[in-house]
Amino acid sequence: MKNRKAPFEDRIFDLDECLPRERLAALQIDRLNRTLDRARHVPFYADRLKRVGAIKSLDDVKRLPLTTKLDLRGGYPLDFMAIRRDEIARIHGSSGTTGKMTFVPYSRRDMESWRNLCARFLSAGGLRPGHLVQICFGYGLFTGGFGLHYGVEHLGAAVIPAGAGNSERQLAILRDIKPDAVVCTPGYALNLAEILQAEGVDPSELNVKFGFFGSEPWTDEMRARIEDELGIFATDNYGLSEVIGPGVSGECPWRDGMHVSEDHFLVECIDPETLEPVAPGEKGELVITTLAKEGMPVIRYRTRDISSLDPEPCPCGRTGVRMSRVTGRSDDMMIIRGVNVYPTQIEEALLRIREAAPHYEVELTRPGALDVATVRVEMLPGMFSASMKEMVELRERIMSAISSVTGIRMEVELVAPQSLQRFLGKAKRVTDLRFKEEPKP
C-alpha cells in the first residue's frame, strides 16, 4: 500500500528540503543559537536560559529546558511573544479551556515561512500551479484552514475556501466545480466518500486526484479506503499551532513517514516518563524546537504526540528526517473531528449548568466515517423533572454549553444516578472505541 505508485512526477518545492545532512546540522546550530537569542526576550526563557551559552553541537540540545503546554498557558495571553506588538501580523489560537487557550502571534516573516512550509508538502503530494483546491477545514483562529489556504496560494494553485461542515454543499462543489485536490480531516474524506456512494455518484464524475489529510489520527486501512472510494492519492501532514500550524512535516510520494522540515524545526523523540531520548525508530513523545520562528519561538516544546523518527535516507531526495504517523498522546487530549478537546472542557461546560458538576463520561465512536462523541451525564437530585419538556431543555442546555466551550457538537445522554462506572483514584472519563483493531483472520 505504501508503495502504491504516485500518479505524478515528484517535484521538490524548495531546495532547502534537500540540504545535505551536515549542511543541515550546521544551519540548525546557527539558527538554534539565533532562536535562543530571540527567546531571551521572553522572561520565561530569559530565566531558564541564564546559564546556557552558545550551542556548539546538536548534542547540547538535550541540556536545554523543556517547555510544556502548561508553561504556555501560564504565559497567557502574550508572555511568550518575542517581537514587539506592532510587529504582529496575525494571531492564531489553539484550543483549550476558555481562558486557557494558547494564542500564537506571527510576524510577517513567520507568515512567509508558514506558507512556504505548507507549499512544500502540497507539492510533495502532487499539487501543481493551476490546480484547484477545495479546503474543507475551518478558518478562523484554528491554524488548519489558513495554513493550507496560504500554502496553496503560494504554490500558485487556486483556493476554494469551502470551510468546515455542510457535506451536501461540499459535495456540490466536488461535483460541479471539479477541484483537483481536497484538504480535510481523513474522517471527513471518508464521510464524503460515503455520501457519494449513497447518492450513487461515480468517483469518475469527479476530477479530484489528490487529498491532503491531517489534524486527526488515521490508519493505513483508512487511507486505502479513501483512495479507492474517491480515486485519489492521499498524503498525510502534521503540525500544531503552538509551533506554527500545519507544515511541520508531510509525506513525499514514497509515503513512508512524514519529512520534517528540519531547517525550521529541530525534532527529538523522548520517553515521556524518563524524558530521555529514545533510540532511532523507537516510539516516544515528539519534542520540537522552532528554528526560524520570530513571533513565538518555542524551545523543546513537548507536543504530547507519540511518534517515531526514521533517520534513514529517503529515495525521494528530501533529507528531512521522517516521523511516523502520530499513534497516540501522552496526555488525555482527544482529537474529535480534527478539533482538540480536553476532558476538563466538558467539565467546565457542565459547571455552567450547575454548581456541582455531575459525574460524566465521554465515549468516542466512529459509526460511519465521522467521529461521534457521546457524553453521558448522571442525573443529580434536583436535575430530574417529570415534565419531558424540562428534560429535553436540560439536555439541550448541556449540549449547547459543550458546543460553546469545545466548539464541537456532542451527543448528550442523561443517565440514571450511579449508573456510570466508578474508578478508584483518577477517573477514566474517556473511552475511545474508534480505532479498535479488527481481529486478524
> Smallest gap, in angstroms, from Cβ of residue 154 to another protein?
11
Stretch that binds another protein, among 149-157, 237-245, 281-289, 415-423 (CB under 8 A): 149-157
**CB 105 → another protein: shortest distance, Å?**
8
Min CB(132)–another protein separation in Å? 7
Please identify, using beta-carbon distances, which residue of 291 and 346 lies nearer to another protein.
346
List the interface residues with another protein, window 384-403 (CB under 8 A): 387-389, 392-393
Q: Which stretch binds another protein (CB under 8 A): 73-81, 280-288, 308-316, 360-368?
A: 73-81
Per CB under 8 A, 313 contacts another protein: no
Chosen residue from 14, 60, 153, 411 binding another protein by CB under 8 A: 153
Q: Based on C-alpha coordinates, what's the Rg of the chain? A: 23
Minimal distance in Å, beta carbon 346 to another protein? 16
Binding span for another protein by CB under 8 A among 15-23, 38-46, 166-174, 335-343: 166-174
Q: Is 69 in the site for another protein (CB under 8 A)?
A: no
With b for 16 or more beta-carbon neighbours within 10 A and e for fewer, the 172-188 pattern comes to ebbeeeebbbbbbbbbb
In the region spanning residues 119 to 148, those forming contacts with another protein, defined by CB under 8 A, are 129-130, 132, 138-141, 145-146
Interaction pattern, residues 267-296, with another protein; x per rule: CB under 8 A: ------------------------------
Name the minimum Å distance from CB 3 to another protein. 32
Number of residues that bind another protein (CB under 8 A): 47
Is 215 or 289 the residue whose CB approaches another protein more closely?
215
Among 82, 162, 174, 240, binds another protein (CB under 8 A): 162
Residue 203 binds another protein (CB under 8 A): no
Q: Which is nearer to another protein, 129 or 367 (CB)?
A: 129
Q: If we measure between CA atoms, which residue out of 301, 255, 279, 381 comes closest to residue 66?
A: 301
CB of 166 to another protein, least distance (A): 6
Shortest separation between residue 168's beta carbon and another protein, angstroms: 4
CB of residue 155 vs another protein: minimum separation in angstroms?
11
Binding track over 74-103 against another protein, x by CB under 8 A: --xxx------xx-xxxxxx----xx-x-x
160 binds another protein (CB under 8 A): yes
Q: What string of H, E and C letters represents the secondary structure of the chain?
A: CCCCCCCCCCCCCCHHHHCCHHHHHHHHHHHHHHHHHHHCCCHHHHHHCCCCCCCCCHHHHHHCCCECHHHHHHCCCCCCCCCCHHHEEEEEEECCCCCCCEEEEEEHHHHHHHHHHHHHHHHHCCCCCCCEEEECCCCCCCHHHHHHHHHHHHHCCEEECCCCCCHHHHHHHHHHCCCCEEEECHHHHHHHHHHHHHCCCCHHHCCCCEEEECCCCCCHHHHHHHHHHHCCEEEEEEEECCCCEEEEEEECCCCCCEEECCCCEEEEEECCCCCCECCCCCCEEEEEEECCCCCCCCCCEEEEEEECEECCCCCCCCCCCEECCCCEECCCCEEECCEEECHHHHHHHHHHHCCCCCCEEEEEECCCCCCEEEEEEECCCCCCCCCHHHHHHHHHHHHHHHHHHHCCCCEEEEECCCCCCCCCCCCCCEEECCCCCCCCC
Q: Please, which residue, 87 or 227, has the CB nearer to another protein?
A: 87
Closer residue to another protein (CB): 62 or 409:
409
- Rounded to 10 degrees, the C-alpha dihedral 217/338/162/194 comes to 60
Interface ranges with another protein (CB under 8 A): 76-78, 85-86, 88-93, 98-99, 101, 103, 129-130, 132, 138-141, 145-146, 153, 156-163, 166-169, 172, 176-177, 387-389, 392-393, 404, 407
